[in-house]
Amino acid sequence: MFPTNYFNRQLAPSNSDFFRMMDAFESQSPFLGAVQSRNQQPNTVKTFEPTFDVTETPKEFVVLCDAPGFDKGSISVNLDKQLLTVTGERTDTVTDNNAERHIVERRFGSFTRAIKLPSSVDENDVHAMMESGVLHIRIGKTGVGMSKGKRVMIE
């Protein structure tokens, strides 16, 4: 069986350097990672993996998470001692299972990301807000370690 391209046309088998080069490029490119490759089965989707930035100021830690397509009800933020855990799920909007997909570039699925922070975090000074597809988490700093976990409400 020959591999198919995005529009399900069969590609002739080829051992050319061009196709090997393109396969290598697609596997290493963060921009093409969501695009269906020639060897991927049609109608399969890679899972969603948001990106994070963590910065520290003299007063707080700031965590930014790119989460386009999420609403605040589909993301959970938990702080347990020094461990910040962000979980979420984005579901596919196509409800017709008989629909033939030609290109699938959007990612769906659930994710969990745990980030260990220094012991100087203050569990009583944690705020999370979703704005323009970016989750902003601000965690105040203190000189004392935390004693128990806390679920953070997203504003």
Q: Please state, in angstroms and rounded to a whole number, the distance separating the CA atoms of residues 101 and 46.
A: 14
Domain assignment present for residue 113? The answer is yes
Domain assignment present for residue 127? The answer is yes
> Do residues 127 and 146 touch, judged by C-beta distance below 8 A?
no
Three-class SS of residue 74?
Answer: helix
Strand order in the sheet with 60-66: 52-56, 60-66, 134-141, 121-131
Domain assignment present for residue 66? The answer is yes
CATH assignment of the domain containing 56: 2.60.40.790
Domain assignment present for residue 100? The answer is no
Domain assignment present for residue 136? The answer is yes
Q: What pLDDT, on the 0 to 100 scale, is given for residue 62? A: 96
Question: Helices in the chain by DSSP H: which ranges?
Answer: 17-28
**C-alpha distance across the termini of the chain, in Å:** 52
- What domain range includes position 71? 46-92+107-143
Domain assignment present for residue 65? The answer is yes
Pull the structure tokens for residue 144.
């004392």
Element (H, E) at 114: strand 109-116
Number of domains into which the chain is organized = 1
Domain assignment present for residue 148? The answer is no
Domain assignment present for residue 82? The answer is yes
pTM of the model: 0.61
Average pLDDT of adjacent 10-residue blocks, the chain of 155 residues: 49 56 57 42 58 92 91 90 90 78 80 88 92 94 62 79
For the chain, the farthest-separated pair of C-alpha atoms sits apart, in whole angstroms, at 65
Q: What pLDDT, on the 0 to 100 scale, is given for residue 11? A: 53
Pull the structure tokens for residue 91.
């579901």
Q: Please state, in angstroms and rounded to a whole number, the distance separating the CA atoms of residues 59 and 19.
A: 52
Angle at the Cα of 38 from the Cα atoms of 20 and 69, rounded to 5 degrees: 120
> Do residues 85 and 63 touch, judged by C-beta distance below 8 A?
no
Q: What pLDDT, on the 0 to 100 scale, is given for residue 33? A: 41
